Amino acid sequence: MSFQLSQTPTLEAVASDDEQILAKDMQARVAEAIRQAEAIPEVAAAIEGSRSAAAQLSRLRAAERALHQIAKESREKLDEAGQAALDALVEMAASGAKPDWSQAGQAAIMENQIRFAGRAIERLAEHTIPLAQIGSLREEAHSLEAQARALEGIAQERAEKVLGQIRAAVSDEMVLPVDMSKGVAGALLGQAKELKARAVQLSSEADGWERKYQDRA
């Protein structure tokens, strides 16, 4: 380190003069801190709750798509079966034979299946999926808030540790400013701020979906 104190009274001490090395080290430390935060029991539980809610919503949407496909295929089969049943009835009537209602009965069974599939789709679309979506949004928001609080706590601990390590220098020079925003603690606080903003956005979306659901109900 080479400098003239009379010309540059404000100094900056860094672990390395290589900016790429500093950036990689910063990324590694931030990533490790994030893993540490995610391992905290209450944070891990919140993340798992968010994942479970999202998986349930995905399953319900898959069920809705499957029921739409079932209903479509059933309607096509019903059209074919209905036409065949009508043709058979006409043929039997023309020949003077006793009508065979078995084909008509099969068509009625298929109509009931289509009707129930439609009711299931309606329930999914109007109730089950909207409620699951609201729950998923709220669980994700809760997860992000928990992660943000954990990152803020880790940032605070890191800042206190750094300040403790430089107290000896402060005792010699009386005042030693420290800009935490450029270090790992500052990066973690930035991450926490982004997570909080996303959580607020998701909570707002959940409120909007809930109002729409209540208005329909």
Position 177 pLDDT exceeds 70: no
Which secondary-structure segment (H or E) carries 56?
helix 41-95
Give pLDDT, residue 97.
72
Higher local confidence (pLDDT), 22 or 4:
22
Give pLDDT, residue 180.
74
Instruction: Average the pLDDT over 12-29 and give the result.
Output: 69
Position 25 pLDDT exceeds 70: yes
Give pLDDT, residue 56.
97
- Rounded CA-CA distance 77/39 in Å is 53
Confidence of residue 128 (pLDDT cuts 50, 70, 90): very high
Instruction: Average the pLDDT over 162-166 and give the result.
Output: 77
Give pLDDT, residue 5.
47
| 10 inside domain | no
Query: Which residue range(s) make up the domain with 105?
Result: 19-216
Higher local confidence (pLDDT), 19 or 156:
156
pLDDT tens digits, one per residue of 73-120: 888 888 877 777 777 777 777 777 776 666 667 778 888 888 999 999
Confidence of residue 213 (pLDDT cuts 50, 70, 90): very high
Q: Which residue has the tokens 């603690």?
A: 185
- Rounded CA-CA distance 93/114 in Å is 29
Give pLDDT, residue 154.
94
Confidence of residue 197 (pLDDT cuts 50, 70, 90): very high
| 6 inside domain | no
Higher local confidence (pLDDT), 90 or 69:
69
Position 164 pLDDT exceeds 90: no
Position 204 pLDDT exceeds 90: yes
- Rounded CA-CA distance 202/208 in Å is 10
Position 51 pLDDT exceeds 70: yes
Quote the radius of gyration of the chain (alpha carbons, Å): 33
| 77 inside domain | yes
| 153 inside domain | yes
Residues 6+ apart with CB under 8 A from 30: 184, 187, 188, 191
| 13 inside domain | no
Q: How many domains does the chain have?
A: 1
Give pLDDT, residue 109.
82
Confidence of residue 22 (pLDDT cuts 50, 70, 90): low
